[in-house]
Amino acid sequence: MSEHDVQREVTELQSKSATAARIFDLRRIIGGLFVLYGIIVTIAGINPSDANLDKAEGVNINLWTGLGMLLLGIFFLVWLKLRPTPPPVPKSTPDEEPTE
Q: What pLDDT sits at residue 40?
A: 97
For residue 69, what pLDDT is reported? Answer: 98
Q: What is the pLDDT of residue 72?
A: 97
Q: Which residues contact 44 (CB under 8 A, 6 or more apart)?
A: 62, 66
What per-residue confidence (pLDDT) applies to 77? 94
Q: How far is CA 59 from its chain centroid?
A: 31
Burial per residue of 47-69, b for 16 or more beta-carbon CB atoms within 10 angstroms, e otherwise: ebeeeeeeeeeeeebbbebbeeb
Phi-psi region of 43 (alpha: psi -120 to 50; beta: other; left: phi over 0): alpha
What does the pLDDT profile of the chain (100 residues) look like in tens digits?
Answer: 677 777 777 777 666 666 666 667 888 999 999 999 999 999 999 998 889 889 989 999 999 999 999 999 999 999 999 987 766 666 665 555 555 5
pLDDT at 89: 64
- Torsion sign (Cα): 91, 95, 96, 97: positive
Judge whether 72 and 27 are in contact, CB under 8 Å: no
